[in-house]
């Protein structure tokens, strides 16, 4: 039974120079048809399940005008929710307003994710982000006044010309916001982004690693639990929605470019707005064999600091993890650790976790 749903709103007020998500500049002429198509996609697929997590991401959902925003909330309101549901909306500082906050409260939204990225003026400009530090502080204060205290903020580090001191000053400012969740990402310069076209070079890998370790240490010292490679939370504030992905559970993905997983199918929607609005939603789908399902269980599950439960694996797949993957060798090489029921990547190896996760791709048996 599917317990989670992701809804994609692909419109943004301006395009960030590092962004390679499915998105486009907000134009009001598109919004109505897009929301109608979204509603149609939902009606065709939703089977009246009760969700434990709803996540509206983008793009920038808060970029919609107040009436469009209400229209979107109304569409999402057709979903049934479990009692202790988590309902998140991604927002950005410039387009979030008190009126939108009131509507979110009214429709039961209880978690807000804000893309702040950095407080450094030199780099905000380079990223084409235009908020100011005091705007972020007043918006977080306002959200809390409305009882929306479950807030995530995204931080990007490894920015061009960034120093360790810049990262420290960003983290210090983030800590002052007193929010329960922080997601951190190292800047990746993806092809077809403005930064790539401008030939901006990534920072040196050893500096990147030093920054990552600085962030982990500072957040840990301040009571944040490092529960996934890039995510930190105060106890009890882990993102339930993202845990759906890392636990390799099923979820619907609705909207332009959204991905979903309804076993045994993983699918991706079209990234063409015209096709989407014409009702051609699906772009591609893949049948997940038991083999791939087990690989995903490990590759996604080992992103969590807690790791993968051996008893859960046997229950789900009928075989022990050790009989499928080279667990013993990886433990001997100190790339994995086993403690009680759990297998996980040890703290000192998290930075190189991608190198460890490739060990779980069993290519030979796919053909």
Which residues form the interface with ligand SF4 (CB under 6 A)? Answer: 12, 15-16, 19, 21, 23, 58-60, 92, 115
Q: How far is the CB of 20 from ligand SF4 (least distance, A)?
A: 8
**Apex CA 2: angle with CA 235 and CA 340, to 5°?**
45
Rounded to 10 degrees, the C-alpha dihedral 166/167/171/172 comes to: -30
Q: In whole angstroms, how close is the CB of 14 to ligand SF4 at the nearest point?
A: 7
187 or 356: CB nearest ligand SF4: 187
Contact between 174 and 146 under an 8 Å Cβ cutoff? The reply is: no
Query: Closest separation between CB of residue 153 and ligand SF4, Å?
Result: 13
Residue with smaller CB distance to ligand SF4, 92 or 120: 92
* H or E stretch covering 315: helix 310-317
Residues 50 and 283: their CA atoms lie apart, in Å, by 26
Smallest gap from residue 59 Cβ to ligand SF4 (A): 5
- Cβ proximity to ligand SF4: between 140 and 327 the closer is 140
Structure tokens at 298: 């490990």
| Cβ distance to ligand SF4 smaller for residue 231 or 335 | 231
Strands (DSSP E) contained in 93-213 are: 111-117, 151-157, 181-186
Q: How far is CA 157 from CA 108, 169, 238, in A?
A: 33, 12, 21
Q: How far is the CB of 253 from ligand SF4 (least distance, A)?
A: 16
Phi-psi region of 125 (alpha: psi -120 to 50; beta: other; left: phi over 0): alpha
Would you say 227 or 254 has its CB closer to ligand SF4? Answer: 254
- Which one, 90 or 166, has the nearer CB to ligand SF4? 90
CB of 228 to ligand SF4, least distance (A): 20
For the chain, first and last CA: distance in Å? Answer: 30
């Amino acid at each position: 039974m599917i317990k989670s749903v992701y809804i994609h709103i692909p419109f943004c007020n301006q395009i960030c120079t590092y962004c390679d998500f499915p998105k486009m500049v907000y134009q009001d002429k598109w919004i109505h048809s897009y929301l109608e198509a979204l509603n149609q996609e939902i009606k065709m697929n939703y089977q009246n399940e009760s969700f434990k997590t709803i996540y509206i991401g983008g793009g920038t959902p808060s970029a919609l005008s107040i009436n469009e925003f209400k229209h979107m909330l109304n569409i999402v309101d057709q979903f049934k929710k479990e009692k202790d549901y988590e309902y998140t909306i991604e927002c950005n500082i410039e387009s979030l307003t008190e009126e939108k906050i009131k509507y979110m409260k009214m429709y039961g939204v209880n978690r807000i994710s804000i893309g702040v990225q950095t407080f450094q003026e030199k780099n905000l400009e380079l990223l084409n982000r235009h908020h100011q530090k005091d705007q972020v502080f007043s918006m977080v204060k306002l959200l809390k006044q409305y009882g929306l205290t479950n807030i995530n903020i995204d931080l990007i580090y490894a920015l061009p010309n960034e120093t360790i001191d810049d990262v420290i000053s960003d983290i210090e400012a983030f800590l002052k916001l007193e929010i329960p969740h922080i997601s951190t990402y190292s800047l990746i310069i993806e092809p077809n982004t403005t930064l790539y076209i401008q030939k901006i070079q990534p920072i040196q890998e050893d500096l990147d690693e030093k920054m990552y370790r600085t962030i982990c240490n500072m957040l840990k010292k301040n009571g944040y639990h490092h529960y996934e490679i890039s995510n930190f939370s105060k106890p009890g504030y882990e993102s339930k929605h993202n845990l759906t992905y890392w636990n390799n559970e099923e979820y619907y993905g609705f909207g332009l470019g959204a991905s979903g997983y309804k076993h045994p199918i993983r699918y991706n929607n079209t990234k063409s707005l015209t096709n989407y609005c014409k009702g051609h939603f699906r772009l591609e789908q893949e049948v997940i064999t038991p083999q791939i399902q087990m690989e995903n269980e490990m590759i996604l599950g080992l992103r969590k600091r807690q790791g993968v439960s051996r008893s859960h694996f046997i229950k789900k797949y009928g075989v022990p993890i050790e009989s499928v993957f080279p667990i013993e060798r990886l433990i001997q090489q100190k790339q994995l650790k086993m403690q009680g029921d759990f297998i996980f990547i040890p703290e000192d190896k998290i930075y190189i976790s991608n190198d460890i996760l490739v060990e779980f791709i069993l290519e030979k048996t796919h053909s």
